[in-house]
Amino acid sequence: MGCTLYTQLVQLAGASLVLKAISRAVTTTIITTSVLVCVYAASPFVGAFVLNRAIKAGDAETMNLLVDWDAVKDSLRRSILARLEDKALLRPSDPGWLAKAKYTITDAVTPLMVDSVLDDRVSPDGFTTYMGPHSPKAEAARAAGLDPDTMPGASVLTRIKHAYFLDLTHFEIELADRWDAGKVFRTQLELSGFAWRLVRVDMLSMGEGA
């Protein structure tokens, strides 16, 4: 009888130790998983931050690693032309021969002009020139006695409208332009290896003076 009771106590003690070990393992797994999920959720924002820093610093090597230039240029071209086509729909239905000739010339020349602008701006030098701290608009602001770093829109975080995962390897950020809040872009990052790369930029609205 005594041996049987002793055996049962030993078994209960062993079962208790096993349960504690399982509980610790489950807790560790949950904590580890939670940390990994948080790191993963934050990773595209970190990638965007690194790219933004590279643009400001003129770090062409980092930009080349984090941007698919051909894909970005192609998506921007298509979206800009689509916005211009939307604008063309607002033209008068019977504009007269002179306006019609003007529209015809504009429609023929516009794609060439868009290509020329994108060739100039969608590159490491172009990104830094037009989006860096010494961009023409930043220098114009300084010439007017303003500090570009304290002007509305100076922080990229204040210009983000939406940010969300499309799936496990694609993340979209919709944000307003640095200098024209009416100009809105949708950017797409793609997870490639351990880095998020900019693979698409769509212009959603053309802003002031468009």
pLDDT by 10-residue block (mean), the chain, 210 residues: 55 61 75 83 91 93 96 96 89 83 86 92 93 88 89 86 94 92 94 94 82
Strand, helix or coil at 169?
coil
pLDDT of res. 73: 97
How far is 14 from 21, CA to CA, in rounded Å?
A: 11
Cut 0.85: pTM above it: no
Do residues 191 and 180 touch, judged by C-beta distance below 8 A?
no
pLDDT of res. 206: 87
Q: Tokens standing for 80?
A: 């800009």
pLDDT of res. 205: 92
pLDDT of res. 169: 95
pLDDT of res. 1: 52
CA angle 110, 112, 114 (to 5 degrees): 70
Strand, helix or coil at 193?
coil
DSSP 132: S
